[in-house]
Amino acid sequence: MAMMQIEERLPGFVQTLMSSGIDLHALAHKLHKPLRTLWLNQDSQLWHLPDELDFFPLVCASVSSTEMPFPEYVQGAGDDHESWAMGLSAELFWRHRDEIMASPRIASETVQRIVAHNRARHASLMTDAQSDSSLTMTTFELGNTNVSIVTAPNRLKPSCLEQLLDQYAAVLDVSGHDVATPDLRSSFLHLRVQDAKRDRYSLQKVLDRAVAFVHEHVSQQRRVAVFSSPEPHAATCVALGLMVRWFEPDGALVSSCSDVAHVAHSSLELLAGWRVSGTLRSLARDSKAVTKDVIQQFESFVISRATFTPPPRLMIKMVTRHFMTAPEMQPRVLREWWQAQQSQAITK
């Protein structure tokens, strides 16, 4: 029964992949053999695949038990990696895969040691970077959108900002640090985005302003750097919000909205969030056209053009909620915050 249900959904799965925004043509040119799935669960015996196969194996693993009559389903094991991966990223796994897989019985201890060592190394990089952060900045360009995601181990120092402004028309800093904002109102904006565990709505509070600032420049074919540290998660979510609101799946600006940058800019100057949301959403892509599939499509577009670990699912959910929920239906804490910001802007 389950196999029949999956078979019926296969055309939809294929269509989702084809419309994901991933460069499938480039991937197809690298594949000289077909793909074939192999399944692993708790009841499977681990095996060693031969070096030469007439296909590329895609190993699908499940931690859920299939033992009857009481099969056990482990919810979230497939995607909520923050809750079970112990800090192990995909990059770290592939770098240390032989060491991790050598002794499955002590794999947890091995992972903990690797993650601890990587965090210590990361902390050392942050200390060393205090003298010259430009040496540790990493940049990911998002196709032809004129938007780049930039990250570094530490906060954006004046020397690094100067370096970025030599390359980009504008810089948006969405790090969680407090910074001294330079007098560059048209080319630099700092919006503090804290870790979701500290402020669950931190990203949503500033997302409209962030998107408006970036759109003001990219609509005029100017390059923008979106910076966050020490992880690129906040910058990635801002880039995702920009794509959802103002771009087509192929990375082109929504043509009907390319002449309203001045509205975005004036709204940004006058108001801090609440009315910006209403103004921009009425001009950009219709909110009713934003679905989970649309957001997932743009998420694939952004993530496939970078090599870092994707943002936590909680942050992606905040972006989804922001664009799929009317302002008046948002959580009360958000509505009150937006209204307070609006009142402050008006009194100024």
Delineate the domains of the chain, giving CATH numbers in brackets. 139-347 (3.90.190.10)
Query: DSSP character for 234?
Result: H
| Per-residue confidence (pLDDT) for residue 73, from 0 to 100 | 66
Kindly tell me the burial class for residue 21, based on how many C-beta atoms sit within 10 Å of its own C-beta (0-12, 13-18, 19 or more): buried
| Per-residue confidence (pLDDT) for residue 298, from 0 to 100 | 86
* Angle subtended by helix axes 233-246 and 313-324, to nearest 10: 30
User: What is the rounded distance in angstroms from the CA atom of residue 36 to the CA atom of residue 31?
Assistant: 12
| Per-residue confidence (pLDDT) for residue 56, from 0 to 100 | 86
Q: Name the token pair of 82.
A: 């923050």
The answer for residues whose C-beta is within 8 angstroms of residue 169's C-beta and 6 or more apart is 187, 217, 222, 223, 224
Question: pTM to 2 decimals?
Answer: 0.65
| Per-residue confidence (pLDDT) for residue 258, from 0 to 100 | 39
21: left (phi over 0), alpha (psi -120 to 50) or beta: left
| Per-residue confidence (pLDDT) for residue 256, from 0 to 100 | 46
The answer for residues whose C-beta is within 8 angstroms of residue 9's C-beta and 6 or more apart is none
| Per-residue confidence (pLDDT) for residue 7, from 0 to 100 | 83
pLDDT tens digits, the chain, 348 residues: what are they? Answer: 556 677 888 888 888 788 776 778 888 888 888 888 888 777 777 666 666 788 888 888 777 766 666 666 666 666 666 667 788 887 888 899 899 888 878 888 999 999 888 877 766 655 554 555 445 788 889 888 899 999 887 788 888 888 898 999 999 999 887 766 666 667 899 898 887 667 778 888 888 889 989 998 998 899 999 999 888 889 999 999 998 888 877 677 875 443 333 333 333 333 333 333 444 444 444 444 677 878 888 888 888 777 677 888 888 888 888 888 766 666 666 666 666 766 665 565
**Alpha-carbon distances, residue 271 vs 17, 329, 338, 346 (angstroms):** 39, 20, 9, 7
